[in-house]
Structures are given as structure tokens and as C-alpha cells.
Amino acid sequence: MVIHHEPDAAVAQQLQEICKLYERGQYVAAWRLGGAWGDLDAWPGVAGQLMAARLAGQLGASRRSAWMFRCAHRRWPSDAEARYYYGFGLAARRGPYSTRRWMADVGELPADVSVDVRSSWLALRGQLAASLRDFDEADALLDQARAVAGDSPWVLTCLAVVRETEDRYDDALAAAEEALAVHPLFRPAVQSAAHLMTLQGRDDDALELLTKAAESLESAAVAAQLFALRLELRDYEQAGRALDRVEELSPLASKAHRQWLAAQRSEVAYYLGDVDAAVRHAQESDSEFHKTVAERLRDPQRAGGRHVLLPVEFVRQHHVTCVPATLSAISRYWSRPADHLQVADEICYNGTHCYSERKWARENGWAVREFSVTESSAAALIDRGVPFTFTTVEPADSHLQAIIGYDAR
């Protein structure tokens, strides 16, 4: 690895310009501006390495980004900003409990640390506390972060995450929109606000925000979120265009990223009726699901199979309330609305026992039958216009969801 040694002032000025582009969401331009230093691994100093790692994450190389943050922390363990990004990555890798213990061991940051790093450190601690359902601690830490940084759009976006974790979606969206008022089209706030809008059933507003942001920002993440929403709304032509934008803005795309793109292109091609392209893209991905779909699409006996989707509306679950949310969605389908949170109050305590679910259904006039789901039994029910609940179980968890359609291809 070759490190370019430039005068500190020149390096600092160059990094400042790159940082400005990054904050404006111009990630490709920022990467190109640092091109004189060579590969990202050669960007000079701790500040250069941290910025390079951040850009890698935005340009399609998330695993490389995580590795660079870890390397930066190992090389400069006393640097406060390197500690922050290491902690951010540790939370994604090891979860809130381990990260919270690590941050406690690190202790207080040095007195001369920048406002951005100190407020971000406090906000991260607040998010970890919220993940562990300690909302009093989370609020106290976010208050400290805001006292340090004022109306920082990043801290406000972190506040939105905490409020969403509390299932306070109106307050979460208000925080994200406040961040956008401070910094219009601030990329993390755009993504947070659009996500929260979809949770509130405001798909058109989310679409408008993401479309505007995708046109202005050089952000593969925003384009990918726009793609996902277009796909959900079955606007397949526009979904394909959004996917093109994701690829365009991912010049450092890893193998995993390219395989993800191939899997999504397979989905779009299938829904646009291009079966050959769907099969070809599925084979380019590493997704066992898409490879299985490709095998089925090549089966001539499945050609012309039915595609059925019942109009069951989405109900957002709160913390461990998948059963009430699913029962509420199916109840609405039959024009017998049941309030999701009221059902949760009746049958939930840190999750839902299966007997509580059945008891509630019987007491509210529903027919309850337990059976093993097969492809033929599922299709028979859906063909009769009957959505049903389906439980998946693993050693440490289980989940209830509604089966509302099938595709015989």
C-alpha cells in the first residue's frame, strides 16, 4: 500500500472539499476529487481513511467500508472519530448490548473532541439504549447530544430512529422533517422520513420525496429505497429505472452488491413479462430463492400458471406485536376491523402465545383451523378469497404473517 505524503495544509484543504461534497450527498464527486491519492486504502491520515471508509459504504462496498473503519480504529485507537465509527460498525456487527459495554469501557471522550463527534457519540449511545428499550436513558442522551450540537440534522435523524423504536411514528417523522428543514435533502433524513411516511400509509408523499432526492443526490441508497417503493407499488418500469440509477451510483460495487442488483433485475424482468431476462439475471445472483424461481420458470409445465393477490392492507406492527398486526390486517379484509393496539393489549406480553391468538379469534367469531401449509392448500384457500395466517419458527424466535397470494409459475 502506498500512502501519499502531502503537506498537512494541502491534505486538510482537500479533505474539507471532499467533506463538503459528502455532506451534500455528492458521493461520486467526492470520491473522484480524492482520486489523486489513488485507491481508497491510500488516502492520507486518519481523517482520510475515515472519509474513504464512509465513501466506500455509499458507493457499493459496504463490507469494505466496515473493514476500513475497523482498520482505522486499530491503527489510531486513541482518535475519537475513529472510535465513533468503530462503535457504529460494532453495533451493526455485534448488536446493542456488546456495543454499549464497549462504549462504557471507552468512557468519556477527550475534552477537545469536535462538536460533531461528541454529539454523534451521545446520539449513538441513545440509539443503543432505545434498542434495549431503555427510553428514559435514550431521551437523556439525545437531549445531551442536542445540547452539544443544537439543531444538528444527524442528531435529529437519530432522534427519529429512537422515536420509531418507541412506535411513536408521528414524533419520529416530525424529527426527520425537522432535520430536513435544517438541511434540505440531508440524505439520512430523506431516507428516514420516506420510510416513516410509508409506515403511515403516505406512499405518494414518500415517492415524491425519494424521487426528488434521487434526482439531486448521488446516493445509491436513496435510489435503492426508491426502487423498493416502486416495486411495492407495482410500477415496474420506474422500478427498473431506479435500479439503473443504483448501479450508476455504485462504482465500487462489491460482488455481493452486484449479485443483489442481479436478483432485483430478475424480479423486475419477471413482472415486465421478460421471462428469459428474469432467468438470466436470477442465475447471476447468489440468491437461492431467485435460483429456485429460475428453475420453475424454465419448467414448461408451469407456463401460464396463475398469479393471485388478495387486497389485504398493510398494518405496521409495533414491538413484538406481529400477531395482533396480522389478525388486524385479515380482520379488515373481511370488513370486521379490529384495532391492532387493542388486540395487542388483550393478548400480548412481550410476544404472543399461540393459544392466546386462537382464543382471541374464537371469542371474536372467527373459525380457527390449524394445518400444515402446502403449495396446493395455500392456493386452494387463496383461490376462494381466503387469506390466512402462517407461523414460521426458529430456535430463538417465531413470527406470524399473512399469506395473501401466490404465483403458480
Please work out, in degrees rounded to the nearest 5, the angle formed at the alpha carbon of residue 150 by the alpha carbons of 149 and 153: 80
Cite the DSSP H helix spans in 109-218: 115-131, 135-149, 153-165, 169-182, 187-199, 203-216
Report the run of H or E that residue 401 belongs to, with start and end: strand 397-403
> Is residue 337, in this structure, part of any structural domain at all?
yes
**Cα dihedral angle (366, 372, 378, 381), rounded to 10 degrees?**
-30
Q: What is the arithmetic mean of pLDDT over 315-332?
A: 77
> Is residue 1, in this structure, part of any structural domain at all?
no
pLDDT band at 346 (very low <50, low <70, confident <90, very high): low
> Is residue 3, in this structure, part of any structural domain at all?
no
> Is residue 2, in this structure, part of any structural domain at all?
no
Residues 283 and 324 in one domain: no
Q: Which triple of cell numbers denotes residue 407?
A: 404465483
Residues 280 and 150 in one domain: no
Residues 128 and 162 in one domain: yes
Q: What is the arithmetic mean of pLDDT over 92-119?
A: 94
Q: What is the arithmetic mean of pLDDT over 54-82?
A: 97
Predicted confidence at residue 351, as pLDDT, reads 63
β partners of residue 290: none
The more confidently predicted of residues 169 and 364 is: 169
How far the first Cα of the chain sits from its last, in Å, is: 51
pLDDT band at 62 (very low <50, low <70, confident <90, very high): very high
- CATH number of 64's domain: 1.25.40.10
Looking at the 3D structure of the chain, how many domains does it have?
3
Residues 182 and 293 in one domain: no
Domain membership of residue 278 as a residue range = 261-303
Residues 159 and 271 in one domain: no
If you average pLDDT over each of 8-22, 134-148, 356-370, 393-407, which comes out highest?
A: 134-148
pLDDT band at 320 (very low <50, low <70, confident <90, very high): low
> Is residue 246, in this structure, part of any structural domain at all?
yes
Residues 81 and 168 in one domain: yes
Grid cell 443504483 — which residue? 246
> Is residue 289, in this structure, part of any structural domain at all?
yes
Provide the mean pLDDT of the chain: 91
Predicted confidence at residue 344, as pLDDT, reads 58
Q: Give percent of the chain with pLDDT exceeding 90.
A: 73
> Is residue 151, in this structure, part of any structural domain at all?
yes
Residues 187 and 327 in one domain: no
**pTM reported for the whole predicted model:** 0.88
Picking from 225, 260, 295, the residue at the C-terminal end of a domain is: 260
Residue 125 has pLDDT above 80, yes or no: yes
Predicted confidence at residue 1, as pLDDT, reads 40
Q: What is the arithmetic mean of pLDDT over 127-132?
A: 97
Residue 91 has pLDDT above 50, yes or no: yes
Residues 221 and 94 in one domain: yes
Residues 37 and 90 in one domain: yes
Residues 279 and 353 in one domain: no
Residues 187 and 314 in one domain: no
Residues 164 and 97 in one domain: yes
